[in-house]
Amino acid sequence: MNEAVEIEILEKRAAPGGKAALPTLRFLTCGSVDDGKSTLIGRLLYEQQLIHEDQLAALERDSKKHGTVGPDIDFALLVDGLEAEREQGITIDVAYRAFSTGNRAFIVADTPGHEQYTRNMATGASNSDLAVLLIDSRKGLLPQTHRHATIVSLLGIRHVVLAVNKIDLVGYDQAAFEKIAADFAAFAAPLKFVTCVAIPISARFGDNISRSSKRTPWYLGPSLVSYLEAISVEEDRGSLPFRMPVQWVNRPHLDFRGFCGTIASGAIRPGDEVVVALSGKLTRIERIVTADGDLGVARAGESVTLTLADSVDIGRGDVLAAPHARPDVADQFAANLIWMSDEKLAPGRSYLMKIGTRTIPVSVTKVNYRLDVTTLAQHPAETLGLNEVGFCNLAATAPIAFDPYAENRVMGAFILIDRFSNATAGAGLIAFSLRRATNIHPQDLTIVKEARARIKHQRPAVLWFTGLPGAGKSTVANLVEQQLHARGVHTILLDGDNIRHGLNKDLGFSSADRLENIRRVGEVAKLMTEAGLIVLCAFISPFAAERQMVRDILASGEFIEIFVDTPIEQCMARDPKGLYKKALAGEIKDFTGVDQAYEAPEAPELVLGQGDATPQQSSARVIAYLVERSYIERFDDSGDWSI
């Protein structure tokens, strides 16, 4: 089940019988392994009389089989539902539990303590407003304690309860408690928590859980439950500027077009002006539609359908925003990154970034530093390993709309997805845009691409010729442009070698530079399609992810991938520039086709060069493709142009 849906269901179940003084509190338990997180939650449920008789009987039986506390009930087993967790005595997955007292409803996330499952802990923290950080009274602060406190801070949790557990095992010693509290306060000072309260507890015996314990007369503070019942942690998202990522465009018939989504922050009313963050288009709200009828106002957290006064081009992933307080729009930004993959971060490699309702290719261009979670020191690094935290620069293939995570947790959080395994590789928190100017927003232009192309009597497109060195890409592209020029078609040819002598002369041939070479060419090609041109690009572009990156920044149907499929033996025999000879002699490193792989397109729009096709025959096939799909006009019998 989707975690957001699961939490929403639990919130409804958790609602107390009476009227709650404060909204539902979502908190997590975290800390090092064996510090008693699951035991604490089990004890909380037991003391609130939320365990039915049959559950209690089963718990007693399980305690005899799997328990770790002798003849007593092992409350941890109530939460550790996975068989693997019971056998190992640790928490692996994130377990959500809902309960309520007479004063407040709660949803608690029991997260893993073992370093191997830090990614699961981060998942639980991302949905919480407060953290209960447990520490074993006998052990004090451990590396995983520091790690969890740091991640909690990075994820925007500003309220922490330091639960100094197993106080019974140190004889309820006041000095032991005060030393741990002081050590943590010193460590956590740079993390800037708003509240941080230390409470001595025994989850096994219930000391200071629901009520104050007589065995700690020296402790004059509240019990854990009474503190959680009273604390106010609500972020006032309603006072932030309006933001709504578009989840879906609802078009049931020609007379209705609505934009569906959950309001991330702020409020909106019919008649209010909104702007499409990415395009800069300005319009007004006409209606706020819900299943229960139209609303006069919608606020943060509500799922609604908005209809607009004007016909505006909006799709999934766009963000509707307040026009006088717009989100940042940039394709390069800095972010804190929590790495969650066994495979190390590869700077320059293309990942998928999911932010809000949008998914877009992105790469990490630089790891600025790796954060030592035990000392908060910043160390130089070139990559990040599993569970490491770093501050990185990232570049997306197109601009995205966002707010810094510190200002808006919904609009500033993202995940990175491995494009090959589809697994979550990392979680990120945007800090700021990497532009020098922060007041730049897209300008709505009167003359658009379609108007420029119309007067040229053509449809803009990018013809992307890819293939091995020596395959004949430039030769065919040059012939195609000659024929298009003879027909009066407006074109431009971007050739790999020529670009390297001008626009990209500052780039070398490292993996990062090669990626940047293609990214720049893609951006230039996009600008030229805005002018209504047909752009011919002849680049080896050996990796599928690079070509997909360019396809993603163009409009649908504008990227035409043309694979010049010439066998490598034929390319080597041609060797027009003598490069294969040098590569085979070891004079050129990482040469495509020799010591670097070429990823052939899986589904290109055109495949050329197979068999005995000549460059003239190949160019004729490209022209025929453009004519058949109405990118360019054709001659009729009278010699005039027609579509």
| Residues 35 and 203: beta-carbon distance below 8 Å | no
SS3 category, 75: helix
Closest CA to 262 of 230, 239, 237, 225: 237
Token digits of residue 77:
């087993």
Q: Is 89 left (phi over 0), alpha (psi -120 to 50) or beta?
A: left
Closest CA to 471 of 593, 570, 588, 605: 570
**Long-range residue pairs from 436-444, CB within 8 A, at least 24 positions apart, any chain:** 438/328, 440/329, 441/277, 441/280, 441/326, 441/329, 442/277, 442/278, 442/279, 442/280, 442/329, 442/399, 443/280, 444/279, 444/280, 444/281, 444/282
| Residues 48 and 133: beta-carbon distance below 8 Å | no
What is the Cα 65 distance to its own chain's centre? 42
Does the annotation count 210 as an active-site position?
Answer: no
Closest CA to 468 of 563, 602, 550: 563
Phi (first) and psi of residue 429, to 5 degrees: -135, 110
What is the Cα 10 distance to its own chain's centre? 25
Query: How far apart are the C-alpha atoms of 377 and 150, rounded to whole Å?
Result: 12
Strand segments (E) across 457-611:
461-466, 491-495, 534-538, 559-564, 606-608
Closest CA to 323 of 395, 243, 249, 264: 243
Query: How far apart are the C-alpha atoms of 328 and 391, rounded to whole Å?
Result: 19
Catalytic annotation, pick one of 38, 153, 350, 541:
541
Cβ atoms within 10 Å of 4's Cβ, excluding its own: 10
Determine the straight-line distance between the first and last CA of the chain, rounded to whole angstroms: 51
Residue 105: is it exposed, middle or buried by C-beta count within 10 angstroms (0-12/13-18/19+)? buried
Helix (H) or strand (E) holding 528: helix 511-530
Query: How far apart are the C-alpha atoms of 295 and 283, rounded to whole Å?
Result: 19
Instruction: Say which residues have a Cβ less than 8 Å from residue 536's Cβ, sequence separation at least 6.
Output: 463, 465, 477, 480, 481, 491, 492, 493, 494
Q: What angle do CA 19, 20, 23 make, to 5 degrees?
A: 135
Token digits of residue 120:
């699961």
Single-letter amino acid, residue 613: A
Single-letter amino acid, residue 37: K
| Residues 512 and 347: beta-carbon distance below 8 Å | yes
Which residues are tagged catalytic?
Answer: 541
